[in-house]
Structure 1
Amino acid sequence: MSQSNSASSSSARCDILICNALVIDGSGTDPVAADVAVRDGRIVAVAAPGQLSGWQAGEVIDATGRVLAPGFIDVHTHDDTNVIRTPEMFPKLSQGVTTVVVGNCGISAAPVSLKGEPPDPMNLLGKSEAFHYPTFASYVAAVNAAQPSINVAALVGHTALRSNQMDRLDRAASDDEIAAMRGQLREALEHGALGLSTGLAYGNAINAPTEEVLALAEPLAEFGAMYATHLRSEFADILNAMDEAFRIGKHSRVPVVISHLKCAGVENWGRSSEVLKALEMAGKHQHVGCDCYPYTASSSTLDLKQVTSDYDIQVTWSEPHPEQGGKMLKQIAAEWQVDLHTAAGRLMPAGAVYHCMSDDDVNRILSHPATVVGSDGLPNDPLPHPRLWGAFPRVLGYYSREQKLFSLAVAVRKMTGLSALRFGLHERGFVREGYWADLVLFDADTIRDAASFTDPMQPAHGIDAVWVNGKLAYNGRDKKATGQRAGRFLARQAREAEAVQAFAEA
């Protein structure tokens, strides 16, 4: 803990003085009792309790019995259009999230020029009217004009680029098409994009050979950017898919983040040790990491390749049959007196929750030092997976407090400091002097997720307050947003030595 040189001065002033908090600073070190002062959106002092008593404060908050942590960073979201269309971002704000990373899984809102309705899975971001951003610069301007309640950082999606440049997506891109995609990627990187994402498991990207992605990713190193990927397979062929990801990262000379790492499918259960060993082996030669959401069910569009009777599949929406939303696929098939694949075909396009993972594998992946937390929530789903509203409190309440999978300090690091370093979010993710005052105050004894698969749109319990860039954005007493929207677009920053070390440690 450090102390401002002016901490003892009676002339020192701040906008907010948070006293007697148990500070978990995002580094993974043990909690300490401290007072924290905020001025002009930044943390200006962190000192032992009572040492800032001489400061003049616009507001004094007694945080006795509460934890003060950096605001949570959701590194894997599909909030691309929602940060503009619904800038209050209540599902994220109410669980302590102060920054989201959008543009994951190869799909992004920018740069996009649609020729009709968005192709699958870009339809997860909304209908065609939600896409207004032919350049990345126009998206940045729109985010800042919308003034969302949380900060926004963005990747550029490979499938989005393919959709812009190709007449059809069931083939490999030509050299000219790759060159055009690279041009759009460069424009995005010049305007602060974090890097490139792919979703090679999806039907509109699976026919892109590795060589296409290798060529597209080549400009990333010049900008100090990164590569994030929804693997080509999360099922039996996962190790080959991981090798492909590592090859792309090594070729382009940039860090690799494997999105929502999991062992999906009953035949894959129990392979998490093998999968994590592959991650560790790659980490000896290049910078690699992963994110994970704290549930044993995934959610995406309804995909015939994933339809099985081995586990439950819940339909969350269906364009031709909206009345079936919320039912299990096997129930729908029984009502229609058809098999599962026939029923799924009739429902598409549709969304689904797949209960496809084992607890042991999720526990092992979530607790690994290389793993940070991302919700992968789908905000446009009418019956969303509960991770949209509950992922971060679930890590703190269920996995840390109840299951004792890791300490509270380690849990916070996976959602704050390590995430900021991994994604190059400068002066975020830590309770440190000079850093931006993205903060969450919570009760470690009561924090928990309230969202469930049957009632998913429920704010978490135990969150007292959330500040974004020094402004109180969420009042936990009333479980309401305050209306102060101080979020902004966060452009990519050069990775500091500490960030490089974070990859090396993982």
Structure 2
Amino acid sequence: MYDLTITGGTVVDGTGADRFAADIAVKDGRIVEIRRRDATTDSTDLLANAADHIDATGRVVTPGFVDIHTHYDGQVSWDDLLEPSSMHGVTTVVSGNCGVGFAPVQPGREQWLIELMEGVEDIPGTALAEGITWNWRTFPEYLDAIERRTLAVDFGTQIAHGAVRGYAMGERGARNEEATEDDIAVMARIVQEAVEAGALGFSTSRTEAHRAIDGEPVPGTYAAEAELFGLGRAMAAGGRAVFEVSPQGTAGESPAEACMREMDWMTKLAAEIERPVSFTMIQTGGAPDLWRQQLERAGKALENGIEVYAQFAARPFGMLFGFPGYHAFTHRPTYRALAAEHDCDALLRRLADPAVRAAILAEDDLPPSPVPLFDGLFALIQHSADRIFGIGDPPDYEPTPDQTVAAVAARRGQDPLAAMYDLMLESEGTAMLMLPFFNYAEGNHDAIYDMMTHPAAVSGLSDGGAHCGLICDASYPTFMLTHWARDRHRGPKFSLEYVVKKQTLDTATLFGLSDRGVLSVGKKADINVIDMDALTLDVPRMAYDLPAGGRRLIQGAAGYDATVVSGVVTRRHGADTGARPGSLIRGVR
């Protein structure tokens, strides 16, 4: 008796090889048979001897997607589903990125870690404070706590530099004071112990844009090479793990100098410890071709057997905004007064009142707070009408210049801010606009296309669980299938086989997860059954479903007939089945 059979489908197995017709049988969480199908194939026995069955006729069958760049470090302690990632065919997530996490933690320092995560990743601190159950102190205890959870997807995590520094060095570590040899030795023991316990890697952030809610840079931002190499060696001593970096330089350097200096030490470290070093990579407007130099350097390292990989984002990297969240009018007195008096639905109704609209558009802004962080976004938005686009329905992530707010305003004979206000009023005040900061310097996706073709580039940066008020890029897996394998019309696209491989075998391989990422006999039965004709991305919407009523942007999808984790169907036609076969992943010692 099989636990599950999937018949009638077209298999895209994750290796990049051509698709083929086949039926699949699953037993005890593993694929036990893949029967290639032709006109004479008889699968009657698969139907007769299965506890559960999926008819995949006319559907594509793929491995479950492996998302290696998420921030579910806190959410995993209260949310079994780990949405929105699980809504998009993701069956494995890797958390603990960008140098922020919740273990280890000294008693009494929990709120500091919350504020660090809130500032860097825009996760409501009130939600984290209410949702997290702090039943750990050390990193191994954190893993043990997660292992006791029942989840819809598999969860792996890295140990974060910020938490390690705060734990080992106290306030000196939190304020980025230089680590002594003794400090490095203490941190190294913590990191090695974490990897030995099952951490998939170590992460650090060196970008000054990553700051705590009080404006302080993430601990480790200015770490010297002695500290970085000491922790890299400790990670390697613990087992097979990945050293993840959000790179940048120091003040006074040009972008090219900073990036190449970072590439130098990352390559040197990868060669010495013989472990992969993975760094985040985006195209910036100020240096639109710098990413090519980074990839060229990573490619040369890879040719020499040194594993240096760039994590790229599959679409423009920026922010979404509208009245349910950040926008250009948050500091107008009338808006402030109405927002304080009304719930979301009532506020949207009032904003549609012509008199209210006129008052808000006529007012001056109140000053931002002394520690701006997200509080200053209103000013940035107000001066970016020539770079802001309506997201549309269905969402369009490769818009043309005639779709900017400034262009719409010119056609309507309006002031750009008035046009922006009216665009946000659409869909009963829930419409979202998009301001791409990165990966859109030429106004198209050609740079991303080139990133996707490079052997040293892996799909990442979805930030699932993070940037709750600004981004909902946990939908990358669906976007990869729809945009890059089916719908793109402004340039070349890829085969479905290639796109599936980029987010299954390639991402799993980086973290040494050799039991998944492909559909073959003996592999873990993490599987998606997808109606490619019906596959669509929903319009992003603001939800208020985090603990303490915290908000987050959610983007769902249609077209996933089923998602399977360890041989158990966790979602059917987009709905949660209630099954929780997911578990903690511990890395290779």
Shorter-chain TM-score tier: 0.7 to 0.9
> What percentage of aligned pairs have identical amino acids?
28
CA-CA distance at 1:199 after TM superposition? 0.8
Q: Name the residue aligned to 1:471.
A: 568
Residues paired across the two proteins, number: 456
Q: Name the residue aligned to 1:118.
A: 112
Please tell me the residue identity of whatever aligns with 1:218. R
Q: Does 1:370 align with 2:456?
A: yes
Match of 1:206 among 210, 215, 221: 221
Provide the secondary structure at the position in 1 that maps to 2:309. Answer: strand
CA-CA distance at 1:189 after TM superposition? 1.0
Q: Name the residue aligned to 1:397.
A: 482
Match of 1:27 among 5, 12, 15: 15
Which deviations, in whole Å up to 9, do the C-alpha atoms of 1:269-302 show, x marking residues without a partner? 23333232122122233112222222212469xx
Q: Name the residue aligned to 2:29.
A: 41
Q: Name the residue aligned to 2:300.
A: 281
Which deviations, in whole Å up to 9, do the C-alpha atoms of 1:144-185 show, x marking residues without a partner? 222111001111111110111222322211222211111111
**Computing the radius of gyration over CA atoms, which structure comes out larger, 1 or 2?**
2
Match of 1:482 among 541, 556, 577: 577
Provide the secondary structure at the position in 2 that maps to 1:397. Answer: helix
Q: Residues 351 and 148 of structure 1: is their aligned pair in 2 closer, same or farther, counting only changes over 3 Å?
A: farther
The unaligned stretches of length 5 or more in structure 2 are: 211-216, 321-325, 345-359, 378-433, 544-552
Q: Does 1:176 align with 2:182?
A: yes
Q: Is the 8 A contact 1:367 1:405 kept in 2?
A: no
Provide the secondary structure at the position in 2 that maps to 1:35. Answer: strand
Provide the secondary structure at the position in 1 that maps to 2:437. Answer: coil
Q: Residues 429 and 137 of structure 1: is their aligned pair in 2 closer, same or farther, counting only changes over 3 Å?
A: same
Q: Residues 45 and 192 of structure 1: is their aligned pair in 2 closer, same or farther, counting only changes over 3 Å?
A: same
Q: Name the residue aligned to 2:368.
A: 343
Q: Does 1:416 align with 2:497?
A: no
Q: Residues 258 and 348 of structure 1: is their aligned pair in 2 closer, same or farther, counting only changes over 3 Å?
A: closer
Q: Is the 8 A contact 1:80 1:102 kept in 2?
A: yes
- Distance in 2, Cα, partners of 1:78 & 1:145: 19
Provide the secondary structure at the position in 2 that maps to 1:45. Answer: strand
Q: Name the residue aligned to 2:150.
A: 147
Which deviations, in whole Å up to 9, do the C-alpha atoms of 1:377-425 show, x marking residues without a partner? 252544241202x111001101221224221111001110111111111
Q: Does 1:187 align with 2:193?
A: yes
Provide the secondary structure at the position in 1 that maps to 2:81. Answer: coil
Please tell me the residue identity of whatever aligns with 1:257. S
Q: Is the 8 A contact 1:256 1:289 kept in 2?
A: yes
- Distance in 2, Cα, partners of 1:246 & 1:272: 16
Which deviations, in whole Å up to 9, do the C-alpha atoms of 1:350-380 show, x marking residues without a partner? 6979722223322322332332222432525
Matches for 1:380-459 after TM superposition, within 5 Å: 381-388=467-474, 390-403=475-488, 404-452=492-540, 456-459=553-556
- Distance in 2, Cα, partners of 1:366 & 1:317: 37
- Distance in 2, Cα, partners of 1:400 & 1:369: 18
Please tell me the residue identity of whatever aligns with 1:487. G
CA-CA distance at 1:429 after TM superposition? 0.8
Two-structure CA RMSD over aligned residues (Å):
3.2
Q: Name the residue aligned to 2:275.
A: 254
Provide the secondary structure at the position in 2 that maps to 1:343. Answer: coil
Provide the secondary structure at the position in 2 that maps to 1:148. Answer: coil
Provide the secondary structure at the position in 2 that maps to 1:355. Answer: strand
Q: Is the 8 A contact 1:106 1:197 kept in 2?
A: yes
CA-CA distance at 1:337 after TM superposition? 4.3
Match of 2:83 among 82, 90, 102: 90
Q: Name the residue aligned to 1:501.
A: none
Q: Is the 8 A contact 2:282 2:313 kept in 1?
A: no
Q: Does 1:232 align with 2:248?
A: yes
Q: Name the residue aligned to 1:107.
A: 100
Which deviations, in whole Å up to 9, do the C-alpha atoms of 1:218-243 show, x marking residues without a partner? 12223122211111259553222222
Please tell me the residue identity of whatever aligns with 2:477. F
Provide the secondary structure at the position in 1 that maps to 2:155. Answer: strand
Please tell me the residue identity of whatever aligns with 1:92. S
- Distance in 2, Cα, partners of 1:333 & 1:164: 48
Q: Kindly indicate which of the two structures has a greater share of residues assigned to helix.
A: 2
- Distance in 1, Cα, partners of 2:24 & 2:50: 11
Q: Is the 8 A contact 1:18 1:63 kept in 2?
A: yes
- Distance in 1, Cα, partners of 2:362 & 2:145: 46
Q: Is the 8 A contact 1:45 1:433 kept in 2?
A: yes
Q: Is the 8 A contact 1:386 1:451 kept in 2?
A: no
Q: Name the residue aligned to 1:78.
A: 71
Q: Name the residue aligned to 2:314.
A: 294
- Distance in 2, Cα, partners of 1:466 & 1:405: 25
Of 447-456 and 165-174, deviating more is 447-456
Q: Is the 8 A contact 1:317 1:351 kept in 2?
A: no
